[in-house]
Structure 1
Amino acid sequence: MISDTRQGILLMTFSMLGFAAADALIKASSGAMTSGQIVLALGIGGTILFSIICIAKGQAPFSSNFFDRAVVVRSIGESFGSVGIITSIAYIPISTVSAIQQATPLVVTLGAVLFFNESVGWRRWLAIVIGFFCVMLIIRPGMDAFNPYALLALLGMFGLSVRDLATRPVKNSISTMQLSVYGYLVLIPAGIVVSLIMGTEILPPFTALGHAAIILCFSALGYVAITQSMRIAPLSDVAPFRYSRLLFALFFGIVFFGERPDWQTYLGSFGIIMSGLVLIWREKRS
């Protein structure tokens, strides 16, 4: 168990680095591809990549398991989460997007209460309320600094929370590689829909396929790592290391994009992280 926990922590940290790097590459590629094209390219590339891996491992990449309730809900959350995050990255600082994403454990805890009948004491309720207040501090709706694209990051955060919640009841007979195929498969129609809504070209330009391939590599590594981490180690042990993504995002944003987060973003990020850590601490004591 100790070995599994350590491996889970390493996988979680590695996945956060992979996702932060993918976010930075998405922002850097936003001039060459639209968000819908990026989602579509990731969907096609990821589906092909993980299907090949499944076949190499003697697993069926597509089966009736795709229609299991937990897998369907997980896939829907994956599509909304990916679209929201990828689209918002093109228009707001990646450090802001990452800070909003740190509220995912708060939503997961709330979802566990609503859908899995888990009990939460007043301390955890207080942490959830404070965490959501800090999200509002970062987004600042109704104020001059408000950017409506931050709502897409919020949508992405809720979508990824649904994905994480739905991962729990997924049957053990469904492998991590199969889940990866399903997760990327739903991005194909999602990318097409986004392009149609935005009135842009559906297919990415040929010259941008190299960008998409590199984004896919980092995204796929992060995707496999986080899924495997949550399946081999207790969630309460690996969850704190999700916050390393914010550190990686701040590094990429400051060094490569010249971002300078204001004090509200720093304060909100700190509050969200502390709220999440309180939830984890209370979970381990209960």
Structure 2
Amino acid sequence: MKAVAEPGNNTMGAVCALSAILCFSFVDLGIKLLSEGYALHQVVFLRSLVSLTFFLAVILPLGGGWSVLRTRRPGAHLLRGAFIVCANVCLFLGLAALPIADAVAIFFVSPLAIAVMSVIFLGETVGPRRWAAIVLGLVGVLLIVQPGTEAFQAASLLPAISALLYGAMHMVTRRVRTTESATTMTFYVIITFLVSSAIIGLFIGDGRYEGGPHPALEFLLRAWAPVTRADMWIILMLGVAGVMGSWLISQAYRLSEAAFAAPFEYAAMPISIFWGVAFFDTWPQLNAWAGIVLIVGSGLYMLWRESAAGRPKPRYRR
């Protein structure tokens, strides 16, 4: 007999999904706000310290205690952590250089990237309709990126690379999900962020390479700087929102049907447009609006096809 989610569970799943997307949007906004005054590795390191503290104090006790941190797949956790760290770096650098709505829209080719990778690496089947959706999503990206024109920015490739790296991370997740819990995977991702940002900071945190002409390079190579009290609140928000977003999105798909919860993730688009207008006075241009419609539409169609085929939808965010 096929299990059907209770209406009450679906409602709670929707609340969790929307809350998770709001958390992730706060992360995007916070990174964008801090990108003009601090180094990326400094922000990530401080955010990871906050995330680890919150994880140990709140998430770990709720997730089963210290025993869940034992793992039989350390190599897989290392590989998964490397993918997600690199994906976040690319997305955050893109946020530093692009309007926030454009960067988020390009990143939402993640479902399409995962579908292609599932064919290549997992031997799954993608029908002609889903291939058509993939092509439309890529057309949407091209409309925003505008390669070959004067409006093209190399930084617009960063969210697309981030989406590919997230897809690779989910390929690893599919391999280990039967033996590793979400709490376990979350912990090792936080540790990977903490260690990698500390190492990068030790090598370039003195600013020896800063002064790049591009906002993304400047964000990457800037020297560590004293954190103001106001900005410390943003970093605290980044750490807590990131962990809570990951936990809430897991709750959303645990409580409700994937086909019901998945479309709520696309609430990130209007929220990112709102942040762009409210904080940075930027509206998407006409070509970006067309690209957003194609990317979101193709992504929603892919999610619908996944649910119709009875496949669980992976979690696309950090």
> Would you say the 8 A contact 1:22–1:215 is kept in 2?
yes
Instruction: Evaluate the alpha carbon distance shift between residue 147 and residue 189 of structure 1 in structure 2; reply closer, same or farther with a 3 A threshold.
Output: farther
2:43 to 26, 38, 41: 38
TM-score between both structures, scaled by the size of structure 1: 0.88
1:258 to 272, 275, 281: 281
How far apart in 2 are the matches of 1:224 and 1:54?
8
Aligned to 1:47: 52
Aligned to 2:226: 205
| Residue identity in the other structure for 1:31 | E
Bigger radius of gyration among the two: 2
Secondary structure of 1:149's match? helix
Moved more, 3-12 or 250-259: 3-12
Map Cα deviations across residues 80-121 of structure 1 (whole Å, 9 max, x no partner). Answer: 121111122122111011111211111111122222222111
How far apart in 2 are the matches of 1:88 and 1:55?
32
| Structure 2: gaps of 5 or more residues | 210-219, 310-318
TM superposition shift of 1:247: 1.1
Aligned to 1:246: 269
Map Cα deviations across residues 189-219 of structure 1 (whole Å, 9 max, x no partner). Answer: 33346553744335x5242433211222222
| Residue identity in the other structure for 1:23 | D
Identity of aligned residues (%): 24
> Would you say the 8 A contact 1:39–1:86 is kept in 2?
no
How far apart in 1 are the matches of 2:282 and 2:188?
35
1:160 to 166, 191, 205: 166
Secondary structure of 2:176's match? coil
Aligned to 1:86: 92
TM superposition shift of 1:136: 1.6
How far apart in 2 are the matches of 1:31 and 1:47?
25
Instruction: Evaluate the alpha carbon distance shift between residue 130 and residue 216 of structure 1 in structure 2; reply closer, same or farther with a 3 A threshold.
Output: same
Q: How does 1:158-237 map to 2 (within 5 A)?
A: 158-172=164-178, 174-192=180-198, 195=201, 196=204, 198-202=220-224, 205-207=226-228, 208-237=231-260
| Residue identity in the other structure for 2:24 | F
Moved more, 115-124 or 171-180: 171-180
2:293 to 251, 256, 270: 270
1:134 to 135, 140, 143: 140
| Structure 1: gaps of 5 or more residues | none
Q: How does 1:108-127 map to 2 (within 5 A)?
A: 108-127=114-133
Secondary structure of 1:241's match? helix
| Residue identity in the other structure for 1:64 | T
TM superposition shift of 1:260: 1.6
1:9 to 14, 19, 22: 14
Secondary structure of 2:58's match? helix
Aligned to 1:64: 71
How far apart in 2 are the matches of 1:15 and 1:276?
18
Aligned length: 284
Instruction: Evaluate the alpha carbon distance shift between residue 44 and residue 65 of structure 1 in structure 2; reply closer, same or farther with a 3 A threshold.
Output: farther
TM-score between both structures, scaled by the size of structure 2: 0.80
Moved more, 51-60 or 266-275: 51-60
Moved more, 210-219 or 163-172: 163-172
